[in-house]
Amino acid sequence: MLIASLAVASAQAQSVNIDGIPQKPSLSVIATCIISFCLMASTIFAMFGLSGNQSGFLLPHIFFSIVVCIFHATLSSISLVEWTQQSTIDGDWLITFSGSLLFQACFLTAVYLELRCYRRMT
């Protein structure tokens, strides 16, 4: 996710619009880069906590997982609402919606399992 978001940010930074004005990376792409880096770093931190049986090391990963879940839900709902205002609900919208729900369900399940692991370790 980090490399993909950095690739999108660099592509946006190098692009120009129709008038020849240089573009800048959007705020959501920059936020995605920062959040994905924090999640990756906290994952490494959590692995050290799991190997050393130290439950406090899991807390940053749980926090950033919840932040990513909220960030994804917010951006997905904004884009899906905008899509419904521009056109009718079709198969593409349904696939995007179901994929978004599946991602949210998997992520919430992972957060739940992390919380259970944290409780067992304390």
How many domains, the chain? 1
The per-residue pLDDT for 80 is: 81
Q: Which residues pair with 16 in a beta bridge?
A: 22
DSSP state, 58?
Answer: G
Give strand pairing partners of 22: 16
Model pLDDT, residue 59? 93
* Per-residue confidence (pLDDT) for residue 84, from 0 to 100: 79
Reported pTM = 0.76
Q: 59: Cβ–Cβ under 8 A, 6 or more apart, which residues?
A: 118
pLDDT at 83: 79
Kindly indicate the confidence band of residue 90, based on its pLDDT and cuts at 50, 70 and 90: confident
Question: What is the model's pLDDT at position 97?
Answer: 85
Which residues span the domain enclosing 26?
A: 2-121
Long-range contacts (CB closer than 8 Å, 24 or more residues apart) made by 87-90: none
Residues 76-91, mean pLDDT to the nearest whole number = 80
